[in-house]
Structure 1
Amino acid sequence: MQESFILFYCLLFIVAFLYASVGHGGASGYLALMAIFAISPAIMKPTALLLNLFVSSTSFIQFYRGGHFKWKTFWPFALASIPLSFVGGMMVIESSIYKKILGLLLLIPVIRFFFFKNTDPKDFKSSNIPLSLAIGGIIGLLSGMIGIGVGLSFLLSYCY
């Protein structure tokens, strides 16, 4: 039993390190790891949120220092996502449904990785505020429901 805790914490450190090294908070990795170790959703959500906030904050500081932060692009996402993340976090979801939603949301980065590899920031269009508000709201609600919160790195990955 103690060996599984040691393995879990070692893997958790590796996940945090790898996600932080590419500028992400890592909540999807923490949630996947906790699901593998059969940790209950009641523990998964706040733990992933806390870890994600810590790692995202350190990533944001580096992102900001590098001159990549654009307030004009960020604010509509944040304006909608932060309150809806709170609403999503207040929702009580049955364990089996939670795991299905989590599984679907964990596929999004995989799809983005395989099918949208060559995105160059120079090719991005200017921000559409109503669309940014809608997308930010959806991201906030879903991430609050599964315990990712509104990790700055998740939002910022779309804002530069």
Structure 2
Amino acid sequence: MENPLLLALFFFLIAIFYSSVGFGGGSSYLALLVLAGVDLFVLRSTALMCNIIVVSGGTYIFYQEGYLNIRRTLPLVLASVPFAFIGGYLPLSSKFIFITLGFTLLLASVMLWVKPTHNEQHSVVERTGAVAAVVGGVIGLVSGMVGIGGGIFLSPVLNLMNWNKAKKIAAIASLFILVNSIAGLVGQWMQHPPYLDLNWSWPLLIAVLLGGQIGSRLAVLKFSNTTVQRTTAVLILIASLKILNDHLFGF
């Protein structure tokens, strides 16, 4: 297994960047752990634990600053939680999980690269609870299956739908990731014994705690870095291609 202290440095930087835009960083943690050759079930649990640590602080800060509207967020969350649990609980084969993870990371890299620029002056479009339930349920299911919080999918979708202002979408994504990461982790641990080696992963958890606290405070200000965003997209792309090559094409 890769040296956790080296991984911790990358996790720290990822946590700063992702938490600054309301994300947990799960897709990038997974990408690094895949490239490091970490066991499938260990990497899924570890990525979700890191997500929970990062977005807990971010969700609290967004709420304190008045960016998180619980009422508008509830339909998304209530639909996503049971599906994230189901996704984590499903008795899927390692091959199926890896292939799904590969395609999910591939899609995530594309969405991160072409993430739409959000205009704070746009008019917010009210969506029905049914639309919110469909969006939350689909993203929750996929997130639970592969071990991410789903914010990397939710945020671009909400932006495209003119769901809300940019910072409020970041706040929604933060809460969404938190509850889905918890639900997905519970689902995984009900299907398998807990796969979290604290003797190995504690530097990663501390790194994302520190990085998340820094990034979450930047989130309520103005923080955007297209270069970092696209570099991260390339990292995720490389990991997705490696997974698909190893488990789908077998070259």
TM-score, scaled relative to structure 2: 0.55
Distance 1:145 1:109 in 2: 15
- Match of residue 157, structure 1, among 165, 170, 175: 170
Query: Does 2:93 align with 1:80?
Result: no
| Structure with greater Cα Rg | 2
Any gaps of 5 or more consecutive residues in structure 1? none
Is the contact made by 1:48 and 1:147 (CA closer than 8 Å) also made in structure 2?
Answer: yes
Please state how far the C-alpha of 1:140 moved relative to its aligned partner.
1.2
Query: Does 2:141 align with 1:141?
Result: yes
In structure 2, the residue matched to 1:89 is 88
Q: 1:159 to 1:125 in 2, by over 3 A?
A: farther
Please state how far the C-alpha of 1:23 moved relative to its aligned partner.
2.3
Of all paired residues, the percent bearing the same amino acid is: 31
Is the contact made by 2:62 and 2:171 (CA closer than 8 Å) also made in structure 1?
Answer: no
Distance 1:105 1:116 in 2: 16
Code of the aligned partner of 1:90: Y
CA RMSD, 1 decimal: 2.5
TM-score, scaled relative to structure 1: 0.83
Q: Could you say which structure has the greater relative contact order, defined with CA pairs below 8 angstroms and 6 or more residues apart?
A: 2
Deviations 1:14-72 (Å, cap 9, x if unpaired)? 22222223321111111111111111111112111111011011111222222211223
Any gaps of 5 or more consecutive residues in structure 2? 156-168, 174-251
Distance 1:74 1:28 in 2: 22
Matched residue SS, 2:10: helix
Distance 1:59 1:123 in 2: 25
Code of the aligned partner of 1:157: A
Distance 1:52 1:99 in 2: 20
Distance 2:123 2:138 in 1: 24
In structure 2, the residue matched to 1:128 is 128
Is the contact made by 2:22 and 2:171 (CA closer than 8 Å) also made in structure 1?
Answer: no
Is the contact made by 1:25 and 1:55 (CA closer than 8 Å) also made in structure 2?
Answer: yes
